[in-house]
A and B are shown apart, each in its own frame.
Chain A
Amino acid sequence: MSEDRGTETLREDPAEVAPNMNEDRTLRQNRFSVLISVLGIYFLAGILMIVGVMVSERFLSAANMLSVVGGVTILGLVAVGAAFVTYSGHFADLSIPTTMAFSGVMAVEALQFGIVAAIITGLLVGLVIGLINGFVIGKFRANPIVWTLAMAFVIRGLMRWIWSNRQIYPEVEGAATGAGQHFVNLYRYHLLGVIPMTVVVLAAFAIVLHFVMKQSSFGRQLQITGASFEAARLSGINVSRNVGLAFLICAMTAAVAGIFLTSLSRVGAYYMGEGYDFAAVTAVVIGGVTLAGGRGSIVGVIGGVLVIGLMRNVMTLMGIDTFAQTIVTGAVFILAVGIQSNSLRRLGRDDA
């Protein structure tokens, strides 16, 4: 294909066209930059903890800590899956909110067949959406942002077509079998009476997905796919399948999160999950999974989720109102990612 690459070769990063990289440079790695890129997010979390302690003595109380974690578990579930999409070099899955809503609504509809059927139905929704996204983007290379946006439209339209603007209530739908109460309790169940089950589920997902990303055959190949799609393809890696799987994982965790969210709100509706797409991107990216793909880890993403939770909590304790909080969150987001990508660039490791 020697003569066919013309336009692609043009897309080389200016930084790469310019100087001849020198070997010595790698040996004099800027330690600070390395530290930022690996531990930056926990460093930020630490600062927030210190600020929290200074702001209020209630901050370190078990109740408050639980509320920090509890406030972001659903986001955490979404983020650990969404991280795979970003890691695969495909930016973000904008169909996350509708996937969450759809799986929640479908689960509620299936409550009449019992709680297990409900959960399975909800997960199936994620499976189907994930497969469609994965196939179209993996096989035909549709732009992920635009395609998942189209999916979001379609799913939302479907939901509103079927249920119009109705909200459906698990306690009503599942009244006959008593499954409704179980469903509502899903989110509220505590292990040993103290640890919320959602947190345990999140922890389990995070641990498993961390090893999937870092230690599985799929995860290792996904890393190369994310860092350079073409190089991965020409290494004999089944890139379509890997990208498809990344979207599948994302949709599945979104479905799980959707079930919990519906359980939490005691209502299934088309608008559930709104805002979780960008929130997940925020957590994923400040957690160190760069948009360029192939970099970052689930540990970092959990850090990103924690930082978001801590930030909200500290700001609330400081008496900053919700509106102003969004301003600060946005600013911190840009700043954190800016510092991170800047230090990666200085290492010659990144161009995003």
Chain B
Amino acid sequence: MRSQTDVVTFVNRYRILLLLALVFLFMALFAPRFLNMFNMTIIMKSASLNAMAAIGFTIVLICGHLDLSVSSTISLGAVLVIGFRPDLGWSGAIVAAVAAGGFVGLVNGLLVAKARIHSFIVTIGTLTIVQGIIYVYTGGAALNVTGALDFAVADFLEDPILLFFPPRVIITILVIVGFEVFFLRTKPGRNFYMVGGNRETAWLAGVKADAYVIWAFIISGCAAALSGALFAIGISSATTDLGVNSLMIIVAATIIGGASMNGGKGQVLYSGIAVLMLTVLFNGLNRFGVGSEFRILASGVILASVVLYEAYSNYKKERIRGQRPELLKELDPQQLKNVTSSLKTREL
């Protein structure tokens, strides 16, 4: 029986949790005015926008595709929920915004799965199209709500009801955990991974690969729109470029969280935690008094390190792939030191 649980495997598997712990510990120890309820609330609130949107990006990536349109879909959700508020009320407006996001996802999915156009192309296209639609809809100006009742809703969403968790954050956590359980533990959830891991296998096993790809894009659109909508309600206003800065953070977080551009890998929860890690980092740096410039630099360095580390370990792994253990036994211990085994266990 072959299995291996050493430090490297452990670190690799829980990389993102360790990173979060490390960053958090550092900030808690050294950053001024970091470790308090108020600041924790701020962190959770600012993380939740991108964390929820990262669900969709991750699942599309697991299916082996890219969804660059998340950033404008976030803005779309925000703009529509504020725009529809007067006519539909909050609940109706949220449903409409999420449905619009889902529609964007459906279009993406159909173009990718049925028309077989590369997702990179399709979603760059829909990215610009949706951004254009937003501008046309708003005329380029930010939308605001004005009624007193509306502000009450905003306050409810934004004020902590439990420790440092306001309802908006709790919703985000619930949605993420819900999707995590769905993707990890249910049969249709696992099929998303199978489709991304090997489309042909999935198809031969009777898994409708195209449908899963389309659903992944729809989930992505819905999640992005929902996160934008909740955020907009929370601040009672929607800017047309709300999601513009999100794309980079979402991509970075998803990759740091362990998803692969080749598909079949990644976890919604880990992407969310990676967003949280980046937010903690940003926030902590803020407490040091360094500006946003340093945050961008820091997240860039982290992403670059993760990518480099992965590329380098793949590079090393490639060199020893296919080694025969029985041949290695011939070597004396001195030489064996230079040779590492390539076999690792991966969690389901």
The residue in A141, A281, A323, A333 that gathers the most chain B C-beta atoms within 10 A of its C-beta is A323
Give the tally of cross-chain contacts (CB within 8 A).
165
Assuming the contacts A150-B307, A323-B132, A326-B129, asked whether A17 and B255 have C-beta atoms less than 8 A apart, the reply is no
Residues of A within 8 A of B89 (CB): none
Among A91, A140, A324, contact of B132 (Cβ-Cβ < 8 Å): A324
A254 proximal to B (CB < 8 A): no
Among B66, B117, B297, B299, contact of A158 (Cβ-Cβ < 8 Å): B297
A232 proximal to B (CB < 8 A): no
Q: Which of A186-194, A296-304, A334-342 contacts B (4 or more CB under 8 A)?
A: A334-342
Residues of B within 8 A of A323 (CB): 132, 135-136, 140
Assuming the contacts A140-B308, A150-B304, A330-B128, asked whether A338 and B200 have C-beta atoms less than 8 A apart, the reply is no
User: Would you call B248 and A152 a contact (CB within 8 A)?
Assistant: yes
User: Would you call B294 and A157 a contact (CB within 8 A)?
Assistant: yes
Among A136, A146, A326, contact of B255 (Cβ-Cβ < 8 Å): A146
User: Would you call B307 and A160 a contact (CB within 8 A)?
Assistant: no
B-side interface residues, number (CB < 8 Å): 53
Assuming the contacts A154-B297, A161-B294, asked whether A140 and B111 have C-beta atoms less than 8 A apart, the reply is no
Which chain B residue has the least Cβ–Cβ distance from A18?
B200
Among B129, B131, B295, contact of A331 (Cβ-Cβ < 8 Å): B129
Assuming the contacts A4-B322, A154-B301, asked whether A291 and B311 have C-beta atoms less than 8 A apart, the reply is no
Q: How many Å from the CB of A112 to the closest CB on chain B?
A: 24
A129 to B116, CA, bound (A): 34
CB within 8 Å of A: which of B285-303? 291-301, 303
Which chain A residue has the least Cβ–Cβ distance from B108?
A334
Additional 6 contacts, C-beta under 8 A, given A140-B315, A157-B295, A337-B118: A136-B311, A157-B301, A325-B132, A326-B129, A327-B132, A338-B117
Q: How many Å from the CB of A105 to the closest CB on chain B?
A: 13
A14 to B210, CA, bound (A): 13
A347 proximal to B (CB < 8 A): no
Q: Which of B119-127, B211-219, B225-233 contacts A (4 or more CB under 8 A)?
A: B119-127
Chain A residues at the B interface, C-beta cutoff of 8 Å: 1, 3-4, 10-12, 14, 17, 91-92, 136, 139-143, 145-147, 149-161, 164-165, 278, 281-282, 285, 291, 321-331, 333-334, 337-338, 341-342, 345, 352
Which chain B residue has the least Cβ–Cβ distance from A7?
B198
Assuming the contacts A152-B300, A160-B291, asked whether A146 and B251 have C-beta atoms less than 8 A apart, the reply is yes
B4 proximal to A (CB < 8 A): no
B252 proximal to A (CB < 8 A): yes
Interface SS, B side? helix
A4 to B318, CA, bound (A): 9
Residues of A within 8 A of B198 (CB): 10-11
Q: How many Å from the CB of B128 to the closest CB on chain A?
A: 4
A158 to B297, CA, bound (A): 6
CB within 8 Å of A: which of B119-166? 120-122, 124-129, 131-133, 135-136, 140
Which chain B residue has the least Cβ–Cβ distance from A335?
B125
User: Would you call A291 and B120 a contact (CB within 8 A)?
Assistant: yes
B314 proximal to A (CB < 8 A): yes
A156 to B248, CA, bound (A): 12
Q: How many Å from the CB of A10 to the closest CB on chain B?
A: 5
Residues of A within 8 A of B133 (CB): 327
Residues of A within 8 A of B118 (CB): 291, 337, 341, 352
B115 proximal to A (CB < 8 A): yes
Q: How many Å from the CB of A153 to the closest CB on chain B?
A: 3
User: Would you call A146 and B261 a contact (CB within 8 A)?
Assistant: yes
Among A10, A141, A159, contact of B311 (Cβ-Cβ < 8 Å): A141
Residues of B within 8 A of A145 (CB): 66, 120, 251, 261
Which chain A residue has the least Cβ–Cβ distance from B323?
A4
Chain B residues at the A interface, C-beta cutoff of 8 Å: 66, 111, 115-118, 120-122, 124-129, 131-133, 135-136, 140, 198-201, 203, 248, 251-252, 255, 261, 291-301, 303-304, 307-308, 310-312, 314-315, 321-322
Assuming the contacts A150-B300, A156-B300, A157-B294, asked whether A334 and B308 have C-beta atoms less than 8 A apart, the reply is no
User: Would you call B132 and A150 a contact (CB within 8 A)?
Assistant: no
Residues of B within 8 A of A322 (CB): 135
Q: How many Å from the CB of A11 to the closest CB on chain B?
A: 8
Residues of A within 8 A of B315 (CB): 139-141
A190 to B297, CA, bound (A): 39
Which chain A residue has the least Cβ–Cβ distance from B314?
A141
User: Would you call B121 and A291 a contact (CB within 8 A)?
Assistant: yes
User: Would you call B117 and A153 a contact (CB within 8 A)?
Assistant: no
7 A-B contact pairs sorted by A residue (CB < 8 Å): A143-B261, A151-B304, A323-B135, A327-B129, A331-B125, A333-B128, A345-B116
Residues of B within 8 A of A338 (CB): 111, 115, 117
A139 to B120, CA, bound (A): 24
Among B248, B295, B308, contact of A142 (Cβ-Cβ < 8 Å): B308
Residues of B within 8 A of A1 (CB): 321-322
Q: How many Å from the CB of B345 to the closest CB on chain A?
A: 17
A20 to B149, CA, bound (A): 67
User: Would you call B121 and A149 a contact (CB within 8 A)?
Assistant: no
Assuming the contacts A4-B322, A291-B121, A334-B122, asked whether A147 and B307 have C-beta atoms less than 8 A apart, the reply is yes
Residues of A within 8 A of B66 (CB): 145
Assuming the contacts A10-B200, A334-B121, asked whether A164 and B300 have C-beta atoms less than 8 A apart, the reply is no
The residue in A92, A140, A152, A330 that gathers the most chain B C-beta atoms within 10 A of its C-beta is A330
